[in-house]
Chains A and B, each alone.
Chain A
Amino acid sequence: MNLLQLEDVGVRFGGLRALQGVDLEVKQGEIFGLLGPNGAGKTTLFNVISGLTAPSSGTVRWRGASLAGLSSHRIARLGIARTFQNLRLFSSMSCLENVLVGMHQHARQPPLAALLQTQSFRRRESQLQQEALALLDLFQLEATAHQDAASLSYGDRRRLEMARALASRPQLLLLDEPAAGMNPSEKDELRELIRRIRDQFKLTVLIIEHHVPLMLGLCDRLAVLNFGQRIALGSPDQVRRDPAVIEAYLGGGT
C-alpha cells in the first residue's frame, strides 16, 4: 500500500484552477520531489495534503484512508509534518521553544503533576528538552537555542522550521523550498542532511525545490507540475529527458 495517494485532486480558487486531475503515489521511505515553475500549484498541493486547503475534487489517502474533512491538527497527529515556503515560525519564542511546540503531541503530562511539578513531571520535561536540543544540534542550531527565532538568519530559520517539523516525530515530512535563500555550500549540506534524517528517522520525504541539480541528485522519484497539472513523473533520469519538462522549463518552440 502507498503511504500517500492523491487521486484526481483538483483545487479551484474562484476561476483559477490551481490544481487539476493530479494523481500521485508516494511510497514509504522514498524522497519524492515536486518540480515546477512558480505558480504551478506545488504549495497548493502541500496545503491540500496538510489539511489547510480543502480540495475541490478528488481524494487524498493516507495509508489507504481518505483524509477528507480532517482539520490540519488531526492530519498532523497522523504523522504528516511540514515546513512553510514563507516561513511561519513562532517569532516571539526561542528556537528551543519552537521545537518544544513541535513536540506538542507527545509532550502531554497529567495536569496535576504539571501543577505540582512532581519528580516524574520534571524528569519528563528535561527529557523533552534534551530531545529538542538534540534536534537543534542536528540542524546546527544548538548555539542559538535560547535566541528568539525572529533573530535568526534566513537559512537558520529554514533549518529551524525543519527541526520543528521533525519534533512531531512524523512519518511523512513535507518540505516546501527548504533551500530557498541558502548559499551553494549550504544547499549541498542540506542535501546530505535530508538524506541523513530520512535514514535516521525512517522518514518519507516530499520536497518542493527549484534548484534542479539538487533535486535530481537527491530524489528517488520526481513529479513535475505545470499550470496545476502533472506533466511528468519518474526517476531523475526519466524526468530530465522528458520532452514535456524540457518544454515547460525552456519554453517550447526553440
Chain B
Amino acid sequence: MDAGLLEQMLLGALLGLSVYLPLRCGQLSLATPGFFAIGGTVAALLSTRVPALAGSGSTYPITSVLLEMALAALLTGVLALGLGRVVLRLRGIYLAIATIALVEILRVVTLNLEFTGGALGIFGIPQPFNSAAGYAAFTLALLALICWLCDRLEKTRPGRAMAAIRDDELAAASQGINTADTKLLAFVLSALVAGITGVVAAHFLNSWNAKLGNFDASITTLAFVVFGGSRTWLGPVFGGLLLTALPELLRPVGDLRLIVFGAVILVGPLFFPQGVITPELFKWFKPRIGGITTAAAQGVKQ
C-alpha cells in the first residue's frame, strides 16, 4: 500500500477517536475539525517562524514536533475547557449546531488574520521525515498510544461514568456522577486528540490553510464514528481507516466512486445502527477465535 494513503488513514482514525470521545458520553460535538485546524496552525506557525526549532540537521527535529504537539495540546485543551463549559449546556442537535458554528467562526477568523497567511495559508512547513513511511510509523505509534489511553479510559471509573451519561444522564447524576464535569472531560480529551493530530497533519501536508477545518470536515469525521460505531474505541479507528481509504481505493471506477462512497456511508448505519464494531461483535467472535479477542471482549464488558 502507498505509505501516503496509509498516513491519511491513520490521521483519519485519530480524528475518528476525537469525535468518538464526546459521543461515548452521549454528546454530539462536531468541533473536532476546529481543534484540528488550531493544532495545524500552531505547527505551521511555530515551524516556519521560530528558527530555534529548526535544528541543525537536514530534517526538522522530531523533538520540535513533540514540542509543537505539547503546545497545541495546551492551547486546544485550555480553549476546550472554556468553550465546553458554555456549549455543553446544550443537548443533542443543539450542541451539534453550536459546535459547527464554533468551527465556522474559527475558520473565518483564521481566514482573515494576517499572521495565519489568510486564504492562502502557510507554505513550506519543514519536514521531520524524508518519506511518507516515516510519517506513517510516527502516526501509528501516536495512534497506538491514544488507543491504549482510550482503552484504559473505557475500563475504568470515568469511562463507566461516560457510558452511564450516554445511557441516561439523569440516572447517572442520581448515582453521584458529576455529569457536567464528566462531559467536559470528554470534550477536552477530544480537543487534545484533534489538536495533536493537526500538528502531524500540517507537517505531512507541507502547507496549511483555513479550509482544512470546515463544515465538510465535521461531517466526514462524524461519518467515521457513525459508520464504525461509538461503543468502543475500535469503532472510530475502523471507520476512520476505512472511510479515508475508500475514495482512494475506488479511484479506478472514476466518478462512480463518490456514489459508491456515499452508498457505503448510507448503508452502513442502515444495517449496523450501532456502527460496525460493537461489543456484541466480540461476543460473537469469542468462541470462534478465543484467546486474543477474549481479552478485548472482557475489556468491553468490564
Contact between chains at A92 and B231 (CB < 8 Å): yes
Contact between chains at B161 and A101 (CB < 8 Å): yes
CB B137 to nearest CB in A, in angstroms, measures 24
Tell me which residues across on chain B come within 8 A of A91, comparing CB atoms.
167-168
Q: How far is the CA of A76 from the CA of B164 in the complex (A)?
A: 15
Residues 98-109 of chain A: 1 if any B CB is under 8 Å from the residue's CB, otherwise 0? 001110110111
B133 beta carbon closer than 8 Å to chain A: no
Q: Which of B173-191 contact A (CB under 8 A)?
A: 173-179
Residues 41-67 of chain A: 1 if any B CB is under 8 Å from the residue's CB, otherwise 0? 000000000101000000000000000
Q: How many residues of A contact B (CB 8 A)?
A: 32
Q: What's the A-B contact tally at a CB cutoff of 8 Å?
A: 83
Interface residues on B, range: 20 to 34
Point out the residue from B156, B161, B171, B176 that lies within 8 Å of A114, measured CB to CB.
B156
Residues 61-100 of chain A: 1 if any B CB is under 8 Å from the residue's CB, otherwise 0? 0000000000111001100011010001111111001001
Q: How far is the CA of A76 from the CA of B175 in the complex (A)?
A: 6
A168 beta carbon closer than 8 Å to chain B: yes
Q: How far is the CA of A73 from the CA of B172 in the complex (A)?
A: 8
A157 beta carbon closer than 8 Å to chain B: no
Q: How far is the CA of A76 from the CA of B157 in the complex (A)?
A: 17
A146 beta carbon closer than 8 Å to chain B: yes
**From B274, which residue of chain A is reached at the shortest CB distance?**
A92
Q: How far is the CA of A91 from the CA of B172 in the complex (A)?
A: 12
Q: How far is the CA of A94 from the CA of B302 in the complex (A)?
A: 9
Q: How far is the CA of A94 from the CA of B1 in the complex (A)?
A: 41
A164 beta carbon closer than 8 Å to chain B: yes
Query: Knowing A72-B173, A76-B175, A101-B175 touch, does A108 contact B168 (C-beta < 8 A)?
Result: no
Tell me which residues across on chain A come within 8 A of B156, comparing CB atoms.
109, 114
Point out the residue from A77, A81, A89, A109 that lies within 8 Å of B157, measured CB to CB.
A109
Contact between chains at B160 and A100 (CB < 8 Å): yes
Q: How far is the CA of A105 from the CA of B175 in the complex (A)?
A: 8
CB A146 to nearest CB in B, in angstroms, measures 6
Query: Knowing A72-B174, A84-B171, A115-B149 touch, does A90 contact B163 (C-beta < 8 A)?
Result: yes
Q: How far is the CA of A88 from the CA of B172 in the complex (A)?
A: 9
CB B296 to nearest CB in A, in angstroms, measures 15
Tell me which residues across on chain B come within 8 A of A107, comparing CB atoms.
157
B301 beta carbon closer than 8 Å to chain A: yes
Contact between chains at B163 and A93 (CB < 8 Å): yes
Point out the residue from B149, B168, B173, B302 that lies within 8 Å of A73, measured CB to CB.
B173
Contact between chains at A94 and B301 (CB < 8 Å): yes
Q: How far is the CA of A172 from the CA of B156 in the complex (A)?
A: 27
Q: Which of B140-162 contact A (CB under 8 A)?
A: 149, 152, 156-157, 160-161
Contact between chains at B176 and A77 (CB < 8 Å): yes
Q: How far is the CA of A19 from the CA of B204 in the complex (A)?
A: 64
Q: How far is the CA of A228 from the CA of B166 in the complex (A)?
A: 33
Query: Knowing A109-B156, A109-B157 touch, does A93 contact B175 (C-beta < 8 A)?
Result: no
Query: Knowing A52-B170, A94-B301, A114-B157 touch, does A73 contact B164 (C-beta < 8 A)?
Result: no
Tell me which residues across on chain B come within 8 A of A102, comparing CB atoms.
175
A-B contact pairs, 23 of them (CB 8 A): A52-B174, A72-B170, A73-B173, A88-B171, A88-B174, A89-B167, A91-B168, A92-B166, A92-B167, A92-B231, A93-B160, A93-B167, A101-B160, A101-B163, A101-B172, A101-B177, A102-B175, A104-B157, A104-B164, A105-B176, A114-B152, A114-B156, A168-B175
Interface residues of A (CB under 8 A from B): 50, 52, 71-73, 76-77, 81-82, 84, 88-94, 97, 100-102, 104-105, 107-109, 114-115, 117, 146, 164, 168
Inter-chain pairs besides A101-B163, A146-B301, 14 sampled, C-beta below 8 Å: A72-B173, A73-B173, A73-B176, A76-B173, A76-B174, A82-B174, A89-B167, A90-B171, A92-B163, A93-B160, A100-B160, A101-B175, A104-B157, A105-B175
Query: Which 5 A/B pairs are nearest by Cβ-Cβ distance?
Result: A76-B176, A88-B171, A90-B167, A105-B176, A72-B173
